[in-house]
């Protein structure tokens, strides 16, 4: 996998209301934190990883990731986290053209995630690319050009745009498809019931339990 022109942004800034509050990224699946699973999937695909999260960064110290907080006023959701990540990448890696984003609650990310998004972007002449599985689009599982950050800041600050889908629709968007029959690679955990379902998926896959 080519990692030189891509960094990863793991999104962990949500309020986790449907999980009863707390840091959903720290919930465990098969004995391993969700964040650790996402980071393990993305790390071989990216030059570097950062964690988009607000509040005390010390609670994520065990993961050895730079923690980047939103820098726009108000809680504006994942677009603000993506913006903060893109700004951090631009400041630290001048040669990196793209970032891939993924929520911290998607523990089954595919190992060809970044490559497939880059391929779709090139083949479909898109500016942004996002994943789709089983016919369902996943706007947060996406590839972003670092250079889009000025437009994104304008959309957040001037237009108060908060929905990821609304922002992406402003541009030509490429789509990378994955099958979801045996396991949805973008299955995300929003509720305790989802976490129970993920445990069963893990067992069915015969995955290693840490």
Q: Name the nearest CA neighbour of 174 among 93, 134, 117, 108.
A: 117
- Mean pLDDT across the chain, nearest whole number? 92
Question: pLDDT category, 13, cuts 50, 70, 90?
Answer: confident
**141 by DSSP, 3-state: which?**
strand
What are 141-192's pLDDT values in tens digits? 999 999 999 999 999 999 999 999 999 999 999 999 999 988 999 999 999 9
Q: How far is CA 26 from CA 70, 133, 143, 155, 177, in A?
A: 19, 25, 24, 31, 28
Task: Please give the model's pTM, rounded to 2 decimal places.
Answer: 0.92
Query: Roughly how many angstroms between the first and final C-alpha of the chain, as a whole number?
Result: 25
Cα(121)–Cα(110) distance, integer angstroms? 17
In the chain, the domains with their CATH numbers are: 6-205 (3.90.550.10)
Question: What pLDDT is stored for residue 209 in this prediction?
Answer: 42
Contact status, residue 136 vs residue 149, Cβ threshold 8 Å: no
What are 180-204's pLDDT values in tens digits? 988 999 999 999 999 999 999 999 8
Q: What does the angle CA 71 – CA 75 – CA 77 come to, to the nearest 5 degrees? A: 95
pLDDT above 60 for 207: no
What are 78-124's pLDDT values in tens digits? 999 999 999 999 999 999 999 999 999 999 999 999 999 999 999 99
Contact status, residue 100 vs residue 110, Cβ threshold 8 Å: no
């Amino acid at each position: 996998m080519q990692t030189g022109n891509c960094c990863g942004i793991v999104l962990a800034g949500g309020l986790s209301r449907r999980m009863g509050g707390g840091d959903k990224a720290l919930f465990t699946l098969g004995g391993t934190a969700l964040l650790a699973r996402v980071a393990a999937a993305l790390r071989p695909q990216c030059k570097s990883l950062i964690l988009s999260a607000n509040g005390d960064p010390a609670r994520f110290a065990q993961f050895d990731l730079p923690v980047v907080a939103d820098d726009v006023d108000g809680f504006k959701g994942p677009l603000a986290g993506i913006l903060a990540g893109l700004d951090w990448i631009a400041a630290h890696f001048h040669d990196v053209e793209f970032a891939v984003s993924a929520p911290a609650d998607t523990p089954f990310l595919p190992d060809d995630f970044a490559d497939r998004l880059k391929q779709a972007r090139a083949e479909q002449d898109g500016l942004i690319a996002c994943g789709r599985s089983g016919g369902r689009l996943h706007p947060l599982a996406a590839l972003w050009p670092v250079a889009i950050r000025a437009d994104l800041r304008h959309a957040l600050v001037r237009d108060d745009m908060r929905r990821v889908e609304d922002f992406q629709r402003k541009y030509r968007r490429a789509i990378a498809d994955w099958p979801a029959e045996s396991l949805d690679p973008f299955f995300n955990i929003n509720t305790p019931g989802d976490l129970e379902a993920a445990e069963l998926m893990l067992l069915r896959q015969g995955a290693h339990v840490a």
